[in-house]
Amino acid sequence: MTLAAGSASTGPHIAVLLIELGAILFGLGILGRLAKRLRLPVIPLYLLAGLAFGQGGVLNLSASENFISVAANIGVILLLVMLGLEYSATELISSLRVQAPVGLIDGLLNAIPGAAVALLAGWGATAAVALAGITWVSSSGVIAKTLNDLGRLGNRETPTILGVLVIEDLAMAIYLPLLTALLAAGGALSVLIAVLIAVGTVAVVLVAATRFGEQITALVSAKDPESLLLGMFGLTLLVAGVAEQLKVSAAVGAFLVGIAVSGSVAETAVEVLTPLRDLFAAAFFVFFGLSTKPGLLLGVLPLALLLTLICSSTKIATGYIAARRSGIGRRGRWRTAVALIPRGEFSVVVAALAVGAGAEAELGPLTACFVLLTIGLGALVNRLPDRLRPQPSHR
């Protein structure tokens, strides 16, 4: 009864909200089908949709912006918890062992250009750290999809490519708390404490997940999918919230929950959470586009082109070195090199965090531009290594 009364009083508002939300989601559904037909990753299309409807864009959304903003936050959390669920703690540790030197090269080659560009643009140290993260991390989502679409899952260089992605994701668990602490404008001490807490938590969770994975998993273990969905989603939000309160960043908390849960529960959790992730992550990308003024895109385009040029070259170098180190042949090295170019969800997460906390506002449009350009470039050049030799006739 109270529910009915409540909704009656906000009737017109609810109607507008529902219409706006419905229109957005329906539109995204069509975009998703288009992306599938064109064999393109869907992230750039979501971003473009957000840009089109955002401030000063084609259409104005007023009623649903608050709702989408909350949904966007949940989207980040779900993106990260699914990432954690996809990798088991043992996979992370073995990747770390084998790929640590590559991870270091990757970090240095790709973070430094971002930091340098931000410093040269006079945006200050915090923006430099943010842009370093934006240019550093390749998009696991886009790259895994491309490898699948191009039929390269069986290729010998594929574990090397995935290995680099795993290391980057693990590095984010240290990087995000550092950025969060910097953005909170704490002194050197609070930044140091945040990073120490993060390193400590990651280490504890990795060890705990390998030793006591079953017990941790039992916390949400349930035979029926419905209670698993609620339990897993609830636990994730809870830990993410606590992590945010401790200034370790909600995203990292969610990632660690994903790592700690293992076995068959993790498999079922992936199944039940995937539709939720798809929904809320779409909201996240659209919201990022919405909150970016399309008019600013043109202004940052030269800088974005420069960043794309530099940071694609550095990724190519990273991939080539990584593949050579794994004993991959020359053609495989080039495939690895260009596979790593696309940036995506992480760059957007970092930019959203930074802009939300009041760092240089141009980071938003710059990241949108940079992500679109690297994904576009990646989609083009990733098809090249196959084109350069005669195709088998049976294709």
> Which parts of this chain interact with other proteins (CB under 8 A)?
86-87, 91-92, 94-95, 140, 144, 151-159, 162-163, 165-166, 267, 270, 328-329, 331-332, 335, 389, 392, 394-395
How far apart are the C-alpha atoms of 73 and 235, rounded to whole Å?
Answer: 16
Residue 393 contacts residue 330 (beta carbons within 8 Å): no
Neighbour count for residue 160 (Cβ, 10 Å): 26
Select 295 or 327, whichever has its Cβ closest to other proteins.
327
| Token pair recorded at residue 164 | 């680099």
Residue 232 contacts residue 220 (beta carbons within 8 Å): yes
Residue 270 contacts residue 107 (beta carbons within 8 Å): no
Neighbour count for residue 384 (Cβ, 10 Å): 11
Select 214 or 267, whichever has its Cβ closest to other proteins.
267
Least separation in angstroms between CB 337 and other proteins: 13
CA–CA–CA angle 366, 372, 376 (5° rounding): 145
How many Å is the Cα radius of gyration of the chain? 21
Select 152 or 277, whichever has its Cβ closest to other proteins.
152
Least separation in angstroms between CB 346 and other proteins: 14
Q: Closest Cα to residue 317, out of 99, 109, 100?
A: 109
Least separation in angstroms between CB 160 and other proteins: 10
Least separation in angstroms between CB 385 and other proteins: 8
Least separation in angstroms between CB 96 and other proteins: 11
Least separation in angstroms between CB 99 and other proteins: 10
Select 37 or 394, whichever has its Cβ closest to other proteins.
394
Q: Pinpoint the alpha helices (H) of 123-187.
A: 125-136, 140-149, 158-183
- The most distant pair of C-alpha atoms in the chain lies apart, rounded to whole Å, by 70
Select 11 or 390, whichever has its Cβ closest to other proteins.
390
Count the residues in the chain: 395
Least separation in angstroms between CB 155 and other proteins: 5
Residue 54 contacts residue 291 (beta carbons within 8 Å): yes
Select 131 or 161, whichever has its Cβ closest to other proteins.
161
Select 155 or 190, whichever has its Cβ closest to other proteins.
155
